[in-house]
Amino acid sequence: MENQMFCYQCQETAGCKGCTVSGVCGKKPEVARMQDLLIYVTKGIAAVTTELRAEGNTVDSSIDHLVSVNLFTTITNANFDRDAIIDRIKDTLKTKQSLLKKVSEPSKLPAAAKWTANEDEFDTAAATVGVLATENEDIRSLRELITYGLKGLAAYTKHANALLKDDAEVDAFIQKALAATLDDSLTVDDLVALTLETGKYGVQGMADLDAANTGAYGNPEITKVDIGVRKNPGILISGHDLKDLEMLLEQTKGTGVDVYTHSEMLPAHYYPFFKKYDNFAGNYGNAWWKQKDEFESFNGPILMTTNCIVPPKDSYKDRLFTTGAAGYPGCRHIDAPYGETKDFSEIIELAKKCPAPTEIETGSIVGGFAHEQVFALADKVVEAVKSGAIRKFVVMAGCDGRMKSREYYTEFAEKLPKDVIILTAGCAKYKYNKLDLGDINGIPRILDAGQCNDSYSLALIALKLKEIFGLSDVNELPIAYNIAWYEQKAVIVLLALLSLGVKNIHLGPTLPAFLSPNVTKVLVDNFGIGGITNVDDDLKTLIG
């Protein structure tokens, strides 16, 4: 048991089948097992809250938050800290015991809802509740597809919660769907329907986060972001949590320490609110997987607000801090209860003693093409489409990753005909956002809407174009979808697009290992989902 694990939730899973000895991501079996158990107990508490709601009770928002953070904690590259995961399991079991007392007939609940144990029994129990505990490969595939979608949704919910926005309907759905993955009476058809319903709530969850972000920080606008460095010491902030960034910028004001964004935090520069901070310097580095070199040369402290953490080198491990759902053993974790200010003074004091970042790039990148900014340009865009200056759009949103095969996306962007515009969101953009692809009548050929969750903006833009052109189906638009995926937030983005009726999405660099042949067939037959082949052939298929 010591060395056993099974995880196939991300695109980089070993051999495109499953990580069984150690994660390609660096996750060790002893951590993988505790993540499996955390998912099991989270499904258990979700079955209890779902029953309580069915019996007419209300469920406190603190329980919703607990469920979301538990799910988020198990997303690829978010948390490698076994002790922190064990604490969450214990906390969840304790909370569940008190909720169980309110259920009228607890004996009717599934085993996970009633399960409890002491910490010394956790490893033995974990070995029996992982992914492979479901024997039928299609049921397993759909249960995991739903669970991964819910993990992505929970991550977005958690960010909205940090901005004090809760959506009780989304939380109740997350818990109902988690509980449904424990239900052996559900058929493949039932689970396919639940998968699509997960996508529908994915749209709602992303809309909630969009409302929370734009409500707090304004609508993103076209912005040029510097990718060089200044002379002051700096703090690098990575991940997706804008509230953490706000707190860090407030606390670094006037300290002589600059704040740089990394990877998925880049789009923070597009929000008007953050422009008032003189010490908000620019973006340092590239997508998450290059951090081993870039965190070293940054020289100052790094704050990971979410995934993606790569197991750190000793050379900068003592400069790496985590917060929220993120965690890494031996790295300091800073947190505060919901709605309270996190104290980042330790990071700021460390930064003051560090040299300024080493410059690795110069120049700038342009982004900020979220829904309102694109709507403001709608006349120009529509005119360019009507005149034929823009022939097509291609959505290249999603994630970046370390596989060499992802160079496909750089080549695809480079070889695109000059009358095609790229719509992007998420860290996938780092494969081409520093290329000079020019513009079409002043409209840049790469329109970056923001983080992976801002794929919601891309959906709104598509729906707006459909309305302007008077089309009855979003698939009649001149938009192709060539999406790169890596972890579970991309799963909810994909399910959200499917629920909006988008068809013929190409997904790469490989299809998810957790899709069984039959489930893949359902997605191919009903939605035209496909993989990628090579750049030249795919350009012909997608662009024509």
Q: Which residues bind ligand FSO (CB under 6 A)?
A: 263-264, 288, 307-308, 399, 426-427, 451-452, 486-487, 489-490
Q: For residue 481, give Cα distances in angstroms to 110, 127, 537.
A: 40, 39, 15
- Which residue, 122 or 486, is less far from ligand FSO as judged by CB? 486
| Alpha helical stretches, state H, 127-187 | 137-162, 168-180
Q: Per rule CB under 6 A, is residue 9 in the interface with ligand SF4?
A: yes
Q: Per rule CB under 6 A, is residue 491 in the interface with ligand SF4?
A: no
For the chain, the helix, strand and coil percentages under 3-state DSSP, each to the nearest 5: 50, 10, 40
Give the one residue of 42, 68, 76, 453 binding ligand SF4; rule: CB under 6 A: 76
- Which residue, 113 or 326, is less far from ligand FSO as judged by CB? 326
The least CB distance from residue 423 to ligand FSO, in Å, is 15
Closest CA to 176 of 163, 159, 194, 162: 194
Whether the CA torsion 98, 104, 106, 108 is positive or negative: it is negative
The least CB distance from residue 24 to ligand SF4, in Å, is 4
- Which residue, 462 or 492, is less far from ligand FSO as judged by CB? 492
Q: Give SS3 for 238.
A: strand
Q: Per rule CB under 6 A, is residue 141 in the interface with ligand SF4?
A: no
Contacting range for ligand SF4; rule: CB under 6 A; set: 1-9, 116-124, 470-478, 525-533: 1-9
Residue 24 contact, options ligand FSO, ligand SF4, none, Cβ 5-8 Å cut-off depending on partner type = ligand SF4
- Number of residue whose CB is nearest ligand SF4: 23
The least CB distance from residue 400 to ligand SF4, in Å, is 15
The least CB distance from residue 26 to ligand SF4, in Å, is 7
Residue 26 has φ and ψ, to the nearest 5°, of 105, 0
Q: Whole-angstrom Cα distance, residue 154 to residue 457? A: 19
- Which residue, 84 or 390, is less far from ligand SF4 as judged by CB? 84
Strand ranges across the sheet with 392-395? 446-448, 420-424, 392-395, 479-484, 505-508
Q: Whole-angstrom Cα distance, residue 226 to residue 257? A: 17
Q: Hunting for tokens 């988690």 — which residue is that?
A: 178
Residue 284 corresponds to which tokens in the numbers above? 């340092």
Q: Per rule CB under 6 A, is residue 19 in the interface with ligand SF4?
A: yes
Q: Whole-angstrom Cα distance, residue 330 to residue 327? A: 9
The least CB distance from residue 430 to ligand FSO, in Å, is 9
- Which residue, 282 or 401, is less far from ligand FSO as judged by CB? 401
Pairing state between β 258-261 and 280-283: parallel
- Which residue, 130 or 267, is less far from ligand FSO as judged by CB? 267
CA dihedral 450, 455, 461, 462 (to 10 degrees): 150
**How distant is the alpha carbon of residue 248 from its chain centre?**
21
Cis previous bond, 509, omega within 30: yes
Q: Per rule CB under 6 A, is residue 80 in the interface with ligand SF4?
A: no
Residue 263 contact, options ligand FSO, ligand SF4, none, Cβ 5-8 Å cut-off depending on partner type = ligand FSO
Residue 65 contact, options ligand FSO, ligand SF4, none, Cβ 5-8 Å cut-off depending on partner type = none
Number of residues that bind ligand SF4 (CB under 6 A): 12
Closest CA to 493 of 69, 198, 57: 198
DSSP string, 388-400: TS--EEEE--B--
Count H helices, E strands: the chain? 19, 15
**Type of residue at 31:** V
**Type of residue at 165:** K
Q: Per rule CB under 6 A, is residue 144 in the interface with ligand SF4?
A: no
- Which residue, 76 or 299, is less far from ligand SF4 as judged by CB? 76
Residue 386 corresponds to which tokens in the numbers above? 């009507």
- Which residue, 258 or 264, is less far from ligand FSO as judged by CB? 264
The least CB distance from residue 397 to ligand FSO, in Å, is 9
The least CB distance from residue 289 to ligand FSO, in Å, is 9
Residue 451 contact, options ligand FSO, ligand SF4, none, Cβ 5-8 Å cut-off depending on partner type = ligand FSO
Pairing state between β 320-322 and 332-333: parallel
The least CB distance from residue 506 to ligand FSO, in Å, is 17
Q: Per rule CB under 6 A, is residue 161 in the interface with ligand SF4?
A: no
Give the one residue of 25, 47, 142, 325 binding ligand SF4; rule: CB under 6 A: 25
Q: Per rule CB under 6 A, is residue 7 in the interface with ligand SF4?
A: yes
- Which residue, 16 or 111, is less far from ligand SF4 as judged by CB? 16
Binding residues vs ligand SF4 (CB under 6 A): 7-10, 12-13, 19, 23-25, 27, 76
